[in-house]
Structure 1
Amino acid sequence: MLDQLRAMGVFACVVEKSSFSGAARELGITTSAVSQQIRSLEQDMEVTLLHRSTRRLSLTEAGQAFFLSCQEMLAAAERGKIRINELRDELVGDLRIATTPELCATHVVPALSHWMSAHRGLNVFFDANNQINDLIDGRIDIAIKMCSKIEENHNLITIPLAHVDQVLVASPSYLNQTSIPISRPEDLLNHDLIYLNTMKNNHYFSFVHPSSSEEINIDMESRIQTNNVFVAKSLCQQGHGLARILYLDVQKELVNGSLVEVLPDWKLPAFTLCAVIAKKEQQPVKTYRCLDALKQYFSQLPGGRIYQEAS
């Protein structure tokens, strides 16, 4: 089939140049190779396409009909090439972004809102799920997720966006009603914990005191669990206990005072917010422009010990 399509292109060029030698020069092949392509077409279809004479070439009736089909084929191929170039070089077509529901609603949509409005040729799909699918199988262009460490992967490129702390939070009402103060990590064993089970080893806490470098590790049990940050925050605000949440997900509540940080002098391990893309020889421009918008947003988040642009 590919040989026949190639021969159709040669035939169309011969007709347009009105000579075998002219087509050969245009295509960068020999005149004999052009002649062989035309003979092969005629043999395959069992028709004569061209009347040959020493002075000129002319199309047979079959050749005229076939030439129109060849023109349509070449025009379709050119349209396909133009479309591929648009998808590669312009901000058009589909863009699929995978991330968690909390990150998507709280940060990714605000980060890309103006950018999406400015590029209306893009069809953007947000795959908001706690389990991010395989980028290739899911046709995901960009995955945005938290990484405890950045691992090498020959098929993926990982771009750090921001460092994010974990914080332990509770409502003021919960802390005011308890008779057991919390001044050291060991005191947590006497309190109620709300598990956010999207985190690995959610029952295990590893604290470090920055000033003294003291390390304390504890295991905690819980009777209340959830796989959703919004639910965990609601449970905390209703006074059901403490929860370990990424600062990125709880910043607003800490600012408005509906939640407060517990043990602020003790640090839990930090995460890196990352964008992950498949490693390709030709990555569409829209992917890089989207990454630029994300980098700009996360680099402009409020400063301090929590938010720092990742290097």
Structure 2
Amino acid sequence: MDGHFLARLKLNGIFCQVVDCGSMGKAAQSLGMTTSAVSQHISRLETELGMTLLNRTTRKLNLSEAGERYYAKGKTALEAAKAAENAVHEIKHSLAGTLRIALPVGLSTQPIAQALSSLIIDNPDLKIRMFATDGTIDPIAERIDIVINVGTPKDSQLYFYPLGQSGKHIYASPLYLARRGYPTHPNDLLQHTWLGLGFKGVLSGVCLTCEEHTRANIKPTLQMEFNDLNSLISHVTQGLGLAVLPELEIKAQRARGELVKVLPNWHIAPHPIYALTTSHHAPFKVKKVLTELKTYFAKQHQQDHNGFIHAPVD
């Protein structure tokens, strides 16, 4: 395939339009061109092919034998090109096909199930592939459409979408507190058993403030470390120690009374939740999922102001 062939594809489109319209004048009007320009394009096509395609008379146009064959094949080519565009258009404007989402382990359970439940139920042709990991992932190599993450995003070539902020606090089970006692001041925390994630992240530091703007920084030593949030939550629920936990991911345990706040009058600053995509021109299904996520997080803020704080989206 060379440049001359590609140029003839355009001429083929003009030729087929002339045949479909029955005259160069009508074809010119439909294409937004002058009649003389259309005539010149047809003449150029005939010259390059070395064959007469149209027998011109004062009243109408008649296809030559070569013109009939060229029109039949050329029209098929145009329809194939249109079908290719329609296929892309369907991806751009429909909720079908496969969508890949990478997200932290904690968000991959109840939060994401609640956020996308209606979308999944109402669109059976939409296939969701979840990649739950608390480690790093290459969205381009893994063909990930949406990366959901927490904390401060690193500089990258990906496109950023703020979704909100998730509250976090120190939690323990009633079993643990009954056995070890309730801390009444941040200074008491170092006398307790601590559990946490083994990698540095938004749940690593303990910086507490109270209403009087008093600040306390705690650096506890972890007796148990975990490489995923769900394991950490499970062990805290079993009464093995204290941990800083994200409130969005433990709503069910809080509602059942399995986890309670430690030092409820003290506060830890929330951490942001955001999404990344590899393209600014994302398909409709990607944009729809982002919208569902933003709506879900906003609703969580309305239901539980202390558990989730929504950030406006640009």
| TM beyond 0.5 | yes
Residue in 1 aligned with 2:170?
168
Residue in 1 aligned with 2:20?
16
Residue in 2 aligned with 1:232?
232
Residue in 2 aligned with 1:261?
261
Cα drift, residue 158 of structure 1: 2.1
Task: Please list the CA deviations of residues 165-216 of structure 1 after superposition, one character each: whole Å capped at 9, or x if unmatched.
Answer: 21222233333333x7632223332333222135527553211122x21111
Task: Please list the CA deviations of residues 214-262 of structure 1 after superposition, one character each: whole Å capped at 9, or x if unmatched.
Answer: 1111222224211211111222233432221111122222222333322
Cα drift, residue 35 of structure 1: 3.4
- Counterparts of residues 182-201 of structure 1 (less than 5 Å): 182-200=183-201
CA distance in 2, matches of 1:74, 1:241: 68
SS at match of 2:250: helix
SS at match of 1:168: strand
- Counterparts of residues 105-184 of structure 1 (less than 5 Å): 105-131=109-135, 133=137, 139-148=143-152, 156-161=159-164, 163-178=165-180, 182-184=183-185
Residue in 1 aligned with 2:217?
217
CA distance in 1, matches of 2:160, 2:282: 11
238 and 305 in structure 1: CA distance in 2 versus 1, 3 angstrom threshold = closer
Task: Please list the CA deviations of residues 26-50 of structure 1 after superposition, one character each: whole Å capped at 9, or x if unmatched.
Answer: 3222344333333433344444433
CA distance in 2, matches of 1:61, 1:234: 79
Where in structure 2 are there 5+ consecutive unaligned residues? none
- RMSD (Å), alpha carbons: 3.2
Task: Please list the CA deviations of residues 103-131 of structure 1 after superposition, one character each: whole Å capped at 9, or x if unmatched.
Answer: 12111122211222112343333333324
Instruction: Report the count of equivalent residues.
Output: 306
**Percent same amino acid at aligned positions?**
30
Letter in 2 for 1:194: L
Contact 1:130–1:198, Cα closer than 8 Å, also in 2:
no
Cα drift, residue 56 of structure 1: 4.2
CA distance in 2, matches of 1:145, 1:203: 16
Of 81, 88, 100, the residue aligned with 2:85 is 81
110 and 202 in structure 1: CA distance in 2 versus 1, 3 angstrom threshold = closer
Give the TM-score of the pair, scaled to structure 1. Answer: 0.82
Cα drift, residue 76 of structure 1: 2.1
15 and 132 in structure 1: CA distance in 2 versus 1, 3 angstrom threshold = farther
CA distance in 1, matches of 2:277, 2:213: 37
SS at match of 1:115: helix
Letter in 2 for 1:299: A
92-101 or 113-122: bigger deviation: 92-101
CA distance in 2, matches of 1:236, 1:22: 77
